Amino acid sequence: MIISDNIKYIGVNDREIDLFEGQYIVPNGMAYNSYAILDEKIAIMDTVDVHFTDAWLDNLAQALDGRSPDYLVVHHMEPDHSASIARFANAYPAAKIVASSKAFVMMKNFYGTDFADRQLVVGEGDTLALGNHTLTFVTAPMVHWPEVIVSYESTEKVLFSADAFGKFGTWDADEDWACEARRYYIGIVGKYGAQVQALLKKAAALDIQTICPLHGPVLTENLGYYIGLYNTWSSYGTESDGVVIAYTSIYGNTKKAVERLAELLRAGGCPKVTVNDLARCDMAEAVEDAFRYGKIVLATTTYNADIFPFMREFIHHLTERNFQNKTVGLIENGSWAPMAAKVMRTMLEKSKNLVFTDTTVKITSALNAESEAQLESLAKELCQA
């Protein structure tokens, strides 16, 4: 990946990983990005995951071409980026470690040292002159951890954005950016919309021509598109018109109701209907869809006087990420004491700006004329809303 004559990509692609951050499937792997700014002084931007330290040090040595780095800038302390700091520090003992004060505390906690004799603590607005290039640091707490800083290089107009604008997949994965960036963003940073909004406000004051994130490809064109999506996601806005249906089904009766509803919605002219079986789909994909569309239907069975476990987990994923601003329809099934709708409503009661449809569909084991009619009225409401 070529960025410019003086800014080199030295990151690595991870094609072996099974679960990113111990929970997200990444069919196209993951990139741990790192960059070298070569000037009178040399700054290295972040390190990589522990499994790739050797490959990264090789990339670094190649970029340095016999020179020695002056600074290692640590934007974020999560180990996918910080795990190779100690090896770097040993290999280049004259280099200073540049990070926020919170990052140095984490460094000591994670790796047993905060490099007290080589620290350069930076905060909001601090600058680091490298020669023709100058870095300005911008704090970005909770995007994705509290210690995060991003940096802006004003000569080439590059934003080193830490986890922001990253995605799942190796940097060269041939796939739609938005799909895996959305799943990544909602999964990992979704809870912190307000903090991302704060960062976007600061970024709006900068003339940015290139975004160098810690994951995924470097972004060089049409930056308004990516920034616009980040604005929608972080403000919990509706990205796509349509309805997402998330369901669980034990013997297929709730599934039948969901399929019927999807049919009715399509026939009613709903622009897009997406259906997720929560027991079988990638949960992160279903969560991403819930935030993407403006309307959602939750369909589940009553189970142990509660709801089916996959639905409970799903709603928890939503509420912990500040799920809000949606139209919500409910379908419950229960053979003797249906209470799933009540449980789901209670789980969502602290979520802001949810509008529940007037119709709640109640199935007592299998669809009948009454519940069929409720599905029709739910579809009507959702198509009109």
The token duo for 283 is: 């949960």
Residue 78 engages ligand FEO in binding (rule: CB under 6 A): yes
The token duo for 376 is: 């029709």
Q: What are phi and psi of 284, to 5 degrees?
A: -65, -30
The token duo for 202 is: 């600061």
CB 230 within 8 A of CB 202: no
Residue 183 engages ligand FEO in binding (rule: CB under 6 A): no
Nearer CB in complex with ligand FEO: 70/163: 163
Alpha carbons 189 and 197: distance in angstroms, whole number: 12
Indicate if the alpha-carbon torsion angle 68, 115, 123, 1 is positive or negative.
positive
Q: Which stretch binds ligand FEO (CB under 6 A): 36-44, 76-84, 175-183, 326-334?
A: 76-84
Nearer CB in complex with ligand FEO: 216/242: 216
Among 114, 163, 180, 288, binds ligand FEO (CB under 6 A): 163
Residue 76 engages ligand FEO in binding (rule: CB under 6 A): yes
Residue 182 engages ligand FEO in binding (rule: CB under 6 A): no
The burial class, CB within 10 Å (0-12 / 13-18 / 19+), for 117 is exposed
Alpha carbons 92 and 354: distance in angstroms, whole number: 54
Which residue from 30, 35, 10, 5 is spatially nearest to 159, judged by alpha carbons?
Answer: 35
Nearer CB in complex with ligand FEO: 96/215: 215
Among 8, 144, 295, 317, binds ligand FEO (CB under 6 A): 144
The burial class, CB within 10 Å (0-12 / 13-18 / 19+), for 369 is exposed
Residue 97: CB minimum distance to ligand FEO, A: 18
Three-state secondary-structure class, residue 44 = strand
Q: Which stretch binds ligand FEO (CB under 6 A): 73-81, 240-248, 287-295, 309-317?
A: 73-81
Within residues 325-384, the interface with ligand FEO by CB under 6 A covers: none
Q: Which stretch binds ligand FEO (CB under 6 A): 78-86, 114-122, 171-179, 204-212?
A: 78-86
Alpha carbons 383 and 385: distance in angstroms, whole number: 6
Residue 102 engages ligand FEO in binding (rule: CB under 6 A): no
Nearer CB in complex with ligand FEO: 78/288: 78
DSSP code at position 173: -
Among 167, 215, 312, 321, binds ligand FEO (CB under 6 A): 215
Alpha carbons 361 and 368: distance in angstroms, whole number: 11
Within residues 15-34, the interface with ligand FEO by CB under 6 A covers: none
Q: What are phi and psi of 228, to 5 degrees?
A: -60, -45
Q: Residue count at the site for ligand FEO (CB under 6 A)?
A: 8
Within residues 185-214, the interface with ligand FEO by CB under 6 A covers: 214
Residue 65: CB minimum distance to ligand FEO, A: 28
Which residues sit at the interface with ligand FEO, rule CB under 6 A? 76, 78, 80-81, 144, 163, 214-215
